[in-house]
């Protein structure tokens, strides 16, 4: 009885295995298994954080840093400073008061009158300048005396050359030797510009003893080519002992 039961059990087992193999062969032959697999849209993995699924990344994997990320700059110089290459026009700020030196033989400094301000510090000495538009001035120094003793005296003591303009920069007049009671009423020079004779009067100052009067001014007076420069003085009275001296200093500018 027992042997019969065992034989029936194994008969059922072999029948089931054979049926399963037959079904598998049929599914593979008809492609039904691939069709079922293609209809599966997604697979959900429900592992918890304590049991994560191991993943092997390929290519570039984006990472979202949590908390404060520790980074280290690789593009550093020998002192540990970050090397920076400025793009476009760089803005540079200078801190402190830098000292700038210019070599007299190797630099040219130009000043834009619309954008620059030049300041000379007090105590740095006089500022030396030179007129760049007239490099070859012809200096002029002329002198003449008035000794007639008359109340009004005049003399022409310098003739301006043709084709040159006279520029007078300083005028000096000294009157002396007059007797007590004689005073200088006026003194100056006369020039001709554009056909017009124009007198220029000097302020005169008496000496402490009252026997002389001096006037000296720095100025800029022009005289045309081919004209005469006159010196004049006027006394309050005729005085035979009076002597006067006129001096001018300046330069000539060629007119071409």
The residue ranges of every structural domain in the chain are 2-30, 138-254
Superfamily designation of domain 138-254: Satellite virus coat domain (2.60.120.220)
Three-state SS across the chain? CHHHHHHHHHHHHHHHHHHHHHHHHHHHHHCHHHHHHHCCCCCCCCCCCCCCCCCCCCCCCCCCCCCCCCCCCCCECCCCCECCCCCCCCCCCCCCCCCCCCCCCCCCCCCCCCCCCCCCCCCCCCCCCCCCCCCCCEEEEEEEEECCCCCEEEEEEEECCCCEEEEEEEEEEEEECCCCCCCEEEEEEEEEECCEEEEEECCCEECCCCCEEEEEEEEEEEECCCCEEEEEEEECCCCCCCEEEEEEEEEEEECC
CB-side exposure of 13: number of CA atoms within 13 Å? 6
- Tell me the per-residue pLDDT of 29-85, one tens digit each, with 9 for 90 and over: 665 556 555 655 566 667 777 777 777 777 777 766 666 767 777 778 888 788 776
- Tell me the per-residue pLDDT of 176-220, one tens digit each, with 9 for 90 and over: 888 888 888 899 999 999 999 999 999 999 887 778 889 999 999
CA-wise closest residue to 251 among 91, 130, 144, 151: 130
pTM for the whole structure: 0.49
Higher pLDDT: 80 or 4? It is: 80
Mean pLDDT of 103-128: 70
């Amino acid at each position: 009885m027992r042997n019969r039961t065992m034989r029936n059990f194994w008969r059922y087992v072999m029948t089931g295995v054979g049926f399963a193999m037959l079904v598998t062969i049929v599914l593979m032959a008809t492609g039904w298994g691939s069709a079922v697999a293609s209809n599966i849209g997604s697979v959900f993995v429900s592992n918890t954080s304590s049991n994560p699924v191991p993943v092997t990344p390929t290519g570039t994997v984006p990472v979202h840093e949590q908390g404060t990320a520790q980074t280290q700059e690789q593009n550093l110089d020998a002192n540990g400073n970050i090397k920076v290459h400025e793009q476009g026009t760089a803005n540079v700020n200078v801190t402190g008061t830098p000292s700038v030196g210019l070599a007299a033989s190797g630099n040219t400094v130009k000043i834009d009158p619309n954008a620059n301000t030049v300041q000379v510090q007090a105590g740095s000495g006089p500022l030396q300048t030179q007129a760049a538009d007239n490099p070859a001035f012809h200096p002029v120094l002329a002198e003449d005396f008035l000794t007639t003793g008359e109340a009004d005296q005049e003399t022409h003591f310098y003739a301006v050359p043709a084709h040159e303009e006279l520029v007078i920069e300083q005028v000096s007049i000294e009157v002396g030797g007059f007797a007590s009671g004689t005073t200088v009423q006026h003194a100056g020079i006369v020039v001709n510009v554009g056909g017009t004779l124009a007198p220029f009067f000097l302020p005169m100052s008496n000496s402490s003893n009252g026997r002389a009067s001096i006037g000296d001014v720095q100025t800029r007076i022009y005289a045309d080519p081919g004209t005469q420069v006159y010196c004049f003085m006027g006394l309050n009275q005729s005085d035979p002992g009076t002597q006067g001296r006129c001096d001018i200093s300046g330069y000539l500018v060629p007119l071409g």
